[in-house]
Amino acid sequence: MSRTDPIADFITVLRNGVRAGRTEVTFPHSRMNESIARLLGREGFIERVEVTNQPGKRRFRRKWLRVHLRYFDELRRDSPLSHIGRVSKPGLRVYRGHKELPPVRGGSGVRIVSTSQGVITDIEARRRGIGGEVLVEVW
């Protein structure tokens, strides 16, 4: 796993977990990834998010992000997380004002935007009248 873009790594873990039919995935904790996961949970794309501590010696203890994935059926074939992709990348940052954030897929998806007021959805950014860096698109 490359450490040049931790958000893209987190998105890849989520996408691969859904495609493999996993009930949960774990990823090393960061505040940004926790914010993204909590927004996805609030919007109904994932079931829930937990922050757990790795047992061990104090020096080597580490926090982990455990994301419980959501599915529409018991066979874990159909997930509300049908597409998740990185928009702004380390080599090409994408910034948009609140007027440049149209609804995603006719309102069925969301963009996650990093603003001066924290990590919020595009709907909330338009409502508050602020723009920022577009991190992720989900539908």
Residue-wise pLDDT tens digits, 68-109: 999 999 888 899 999 999 999 999 999 999 999 999 999 899
pLDDT at residue 57 above 80?
no
Mean pLDDT of the 52-60 span = 77
Assess if residue 115 is contained within a domain: yes
H/E run at residue 24: strand 24-28
- Tell me the Ramachandran region of residue 120: left when phi exceeds 0, alpha when psi lies from -120 to 50, beta otherwise: beta
Residue 25 in any domain: the answer is yes
Any domain includes 101 = yes
Eight-state DSSP code of residue 66? E
Does the pLDDT at position 66 exceed 90?
A: yes
Helix (H/G/I), strand (E/B), else coil: 39: helix
Number of domains into which the chain is organized? 1
In a domain, residue 132? The reply is: yes
Does residue 1 sit within a domain? no
Q: What is the CATH number of the domain that holds 15?
A: 3.30.1490.10
pLDDT at 2: 64
Does residue 93 lie within any of the structural domains?
Answer: yes
> Nearest-5° angle of CA 117, CA 136, CA 72?
115
Say if pTM beats, i.e. exceeds, 0.75. yes
Give tens-digit pLDDT for 1-42: 667 999 999 999 999 999 999 999 999 999 999 999 999 999
Q: How far apart are CA 123 and CA 121, in angstroms?
A: 5
Residue 124's domain spans which residues? 6-138
Instruction: Report residue 59 as tokens.
Output: 């020096």
